[in-house]
Structure formats: C-alpha cells, structure tokens
Amino acid sequence: MNPLISATLIGFMLGSNCGWFFTDLYYSAEISNLKTEQAESLAAAEQLYLQRYRQEIARADALSAQLSTTETQLQTRTQEVQRAISQVTTGKRCLDSAAVRLLNRAPRVDSAVPETTAPSVTESGAIATDTDVAGWIGGAQYQYDLCRARLNTLIDFETGRLDERANYE
C-alpha cells in the first residue's frame, strides 16, 4: 500500500475519532447544562407554587374567619328579631286554613309557612297568626342573608385570586 494512502487513512481515522470524542464531550456538557437548567426551573416553579398555595390558604382562612363572624352576627340578630316578634305582634289570625294548606303543600317545602306555634284562634290550628308569619319572614331573611354572605365570600375568594395567565406572557 502506498505510504501516502496509509497516512491519509490513519489521519482520517485519528481525525474521526478525535472529532467524535470532542463532539461527545461538547454535547454531553450541553445536555448536562440543559438538565441543570431544567432542575433549577422546576425548583423555582415548585417554590412559586408553594408560595401561591400558602397565599391562597391564608386568603381562604381570612375569608372563612370573616364569614364565620358574619354568620354569628346574623344568627344573633335573627335570635333578637325572633324574641322581639312576640312583643310587636298580636297573635291575630293572618292567614286562614286554606292559605296555610296551600302554602304548606307548595312544591318548595322549605319555604312553606309553618303551622301555628302560638295558641290558635280556632280549634283546628290550621291558620297562621301574624306572629307565625313574622317568624317565618325573620327566618327567611336570615336564610337569605346567610346565603348572600356565603356567596359574597366565594366571589371575594375568586376575584382576589392571582391571574395565572400573567406569568406566561
């Protein structure tokens, strides 16, 4: 074999091996850098998630405490109204038996006028006095205010939430 061809083949093989070796070193370092960046990015994302999670828990706890205070105030106010009803009502007939029957058989049982709680004017007890109606109205107002307070708290929780899309722009 010609010495020039042999030298060329040896040079080509040495060059190929050196090229492969240095290319492997370069790309191994690049892959290692990418893995490091990915791990750092994942750690930063986990920290951000944990921070936001703690903020949301703190907001939820504060809103829950506020709602609990509101519910207690509503309950106290309703109890005061219920006690005062007997002082401002006369116990006179307000709704006769047909109206009470109609309201008690309405599809929405939870909003039906209660049966007479005070001594009734008639023997059947199927009427509602002004005291009964006032008591029902007070209870309905309490339920409405309680529902409104809970919904407002949910709205406050949702509207106070961080906008997640702002971090991706």
| Tens digit of each residue's pLDDT (9 = 90 or more) over 122-162 | 444 578 888 989 999 999 999 999 999 999 999 999 887 76
Q: Give one DSSP letter per residue of 74-92, joined into a string.
A: HHHHHHHHHHHHHHH----
- Choose among 99, 100, 138: nearest CA to 116: 100
Q: What is the pTM of this model?
A: 0.61
Amino acid, res. 107? P
| Tens digit of each residue's pLDDT (9 = 90 or more) over 58-108 | 999 999 999 999 999 999 999 999 999 988 988 888 888 888 878 777 555
